[in-house]
Amino acid sequence: MHVGIIMDGNGRWAAKRGLPRLMGHKRGAGRVKDIVKTSIELGVTTLTLYAFSTENWKRAAHEVEGLMKLFRGYLQNNFVELNEKNIKVKFLGDPTPLAADLREQMENLEDLTKDNTLMTLNIAINYGGRDDLVRATRKIAAKVRDGSLAIDDICEQTISDHLDTVKQPDPDLIIRTAGELRLSNFMIWQGAYSELAFVKTSWPEFTPEVYTEVIAEYRSRTRQFGAVIPKGAKVVK
């Protein structure tokens, strides 16, 4: 089971309490560890967390700087533990604009955990669904240009095989916290048939108990994938 989470509401959580937005992000960063642990307990085999989008660079410079500092801290504090728990870490998105030391941490963690098998943890940083498709298209176009791929051989699987999530299952469920009703450029190709759950709870308050309830509700659904499923049949895993 692959679950994607749009971790929204950190800034609003802080604002409601008269705190700086970065305090909300700090509280949200602390929530990640609980949700990773609960994911394993719930049988989630792939978890994708939307940490920083391609559009988030438009935020105030001090907020972007603070987010990057929190991200560094998360990697440093969890580097060893993620590996010891047999979690494979994969980073989605274009790392080019990130600081060199941060890219090095990311590469080291991916390399360290590449053979782990309990769960895959995708962290989407400087990620956007459209950007993912653009980068995939460039890779495909390069193969057509050098003759290693024929235009007529391009199909849906070809595109999937050139996205950041290559060899991973598409998300079964995409959760967005804090009540907003949009995907905000998150996994727009991979999420074509994902079930959606928009919850009012902000990310800092998205406890394991709330998460468990969302997963239970998802598992009560019947997924049709465009087909007509007989009444009473269950397709959700």
Q: CA-CA distance, 235 to 237, in Å (whole number)?
A: 6
Tokens representing residue 69 in the block: 């500092």
Q: Which of 196, 186, 194 is nearest to 93 (CA)?
A: 186
User: Under 8 Å CB-to-CB from 74, ≥6 apart: which residues?
Assistant: 29, 32
Residue tagged active-site, from 56, 83, 116, 185: 56
The question of whether 8 is a catalytic residue gets the answer yes
Q: What is the side-by-side order of every strand in the sheet holding 119-127?
A: 87-92, 119-127, 46-53, 2-6, 173-176, 195-198
> DSSP alpha helices (H): ranges in the chain?
10-16, 21-41, 61-84, 100-113, 129-146, 156-160, 208-219
Q: Is the dihedral angle over the CA atoms 61, 66, 72, 75 positive or is it negative?
A: negative
Question: Which residues have a Cβ under 8 Å from the Cβ of 75 and sit 6 or more positions away?
Answer: 102, 105, 106, 109
**In angstroms, how far is the first alpha carbon of the chain from the final one?**
7
- Would you call 172 a catalytic residue per the annotation? no
Catalytic residue among 8, 132, 164, 172: 8
Contact 38, 113 (CB under 8 A): no
Give the active site residues. Answer: 8, 56
